[in-house]
Amino acid sequence: MGQTADALQARLKEITYSAAFHTTEQALIFINCAIYTANKKYLEGTIKLPLGDCSLQDGNRVIYRSYKSVALGKTLGWGFYRLNLDNYIQYDSIYYAKVVIQRMPNIVWKKRKYYILTAYPDLRRTVKEEPPRAAPFVYF
């Protein structure tokens, strides 16, 4: 959120994808979607609503991947995908979100035994599933 193009591009030296939510509200909505969905199997509590897929990774991390339909056709964020050392593509329309939840053996806050490690628009998935429509600009 609030990332400039320069800040996102600077991250491309170390990684292939760099993206940011358009607004704080969008990030919070998808964090809550992740918690509601993860309650099904991975966190304490009952499922509220299945709004994506969750899986348990090494290190006791729950990975949430949103369904495209949850975005209601609105773009969640924007970012850059690095093609090679000097070329990258700007994506202005990212329709998927990814949230990483860290499970803990002890209570972290109130009755919760987890915290949100990170949340971001899932540009990698967008590139894989919707490359032609989502990438209008190529930079050299």
The residues pairing with 18 across neighbouring beta strands, listed in sequence order, are 80
Q: The whole model's pTM is what?
A: 0.81
Per-residue pLDDT, averaged over 47-74, amounts to 82
- Asked if 17 and 79 count as a contact pair (C-beta separation under 8 A), the reply is yes
| Predicted local confidence at residue 3, as pLDDT | 81
Amino acid at 35: I
Phi, psi of 68 (to 5 degrees): -60, -35
| Predicted local confidence at residue 67, as pLDDT | 86
pLDDT tens digits, residue range 71-128?
Answer: 777 889 999 998 887 788 889 889 999 999 998 888 888 888 888 999 999 999 988 8
Q: Would you say residue 134 has pLDDT above 60?
A: no
- Asked if 52 and 36 count as a contact pair (C-beta separation under 8 A), the reply is no
- For 44, counting Cβ atoms within 10 Å of its Cβ (0-12 exposed, 13-18 middle, 19+ buried), the class is exposed
Give every CB contact of residue 90 below 8 A, 6+ residues apart in sequence: 5, 78, 79, 80, 135, 136, 137, 138, 139
pLDDT tens digits, residue range 34-44?
Answer: 888 887 666 76
| Predicted local confidence at residue 140, as pLDDT | 47
Tell me which of 68 and 66 has the higher pLDDT.
Answer: 66
pLDDT tens digits, residue range 10-29?
Answer: 888 888 899 999 999 999 98
Q: Which two tokens stand for residue 84?
A: 């090679």
